[in-house]
Amino acid sequence: MDYPKPGDYDVIIITGAPANPDGQEPWLVRLREYINKEVEMTSTQKFVGFCFGHQILAMAYGLSVECSDSGYEFSATTIQLSETGKTLFGQESICLNEGHQFQVKDQDLGQLQNLGWTDHTHIQGLFLPKRLWSLQAHPEFDATALGRILEFAKAKLSEKEYQSAKERNTGNVEQQVALDSLVKFILE
């Protein structure tokens, strides 16, 4: 895969992937090196990440990622929003689809702002005005997509985790609120 040359884009969006963001597979090493270089060398380009993409971007900004001791966070999940998150989404909390075991460690974020938290994952999104917008969640997944991913991941979940995720996958999420915020970020 060929990546764009530095500055030959307005926005890079990194979506989810069933991979350890700190893995050593050649494609992962190459992706991290490219994103690290782009974050460092460009000044007006924007970066967007969902789940795995959120984690890769966090690493590019010097943050650490870990595999959660609490297992997976899966399905429709209510995220309590920080002041920054409340400003971006215009509400106190947001319900979005999740599907992850890796997460950004709870740590000093430096110049970055945390968008919100759950009991499972304390850094649910990162924001840097005109530069970075990321979510641990999957605003791009509707109930059908999440249902398919849930079946794919079933073997990795305990029966209790699987049943809970399946019951909560009702489609009653606020993905449009998140996507509207994303579009506003990209266009500003």
Q: How confident is the model at residue 144 (pLDDT cuts 50, 70, 90)?
A: very high
How confident is the model at residue 1, as a pLDDT?
A: 77
How confident is the model at residue 184, as a pLDDT?
A: 98
Long-range CB contacts for residues 145-154, cutoff 8 Å, separation at least 24: 146/75, 146/97, 146/99, 149/99, 150/74, 150/75, 150/99, 152/18, 153/18, 153/72, 153/74, 153/99
How confident is the model at residue 115, as a pLDDT?
A: 99
How confident is the model at residue 7, as a pLDDT?
A: 84
Task: Identify the structural domains of the chain with CATH numbers, from first to last.
Answer: 11-187 (3.40.50.880)
pLDDT of 107 > 90? The answer is: yes
Q: CA 126, CA 134: separation in Å to the nearest integer?
A: 5
Could you give the percent of the chain with pLDDT greater than 90? 96
* DSSP 3-state of 116: strand
More reliable by pLDDT, 117 or 1:
117
20-62 residue pLDDT tens: 999 999 999 999 999 999 999 999 999 999 999 999 999 999 9
Tokens 């040359």 correspond to 5
3-state helix, strand, coil in the chain (%, to 5): 35, 25, 40
65-89 residue pLDDT tens: 999 999 899 999 999 999 999 999 9
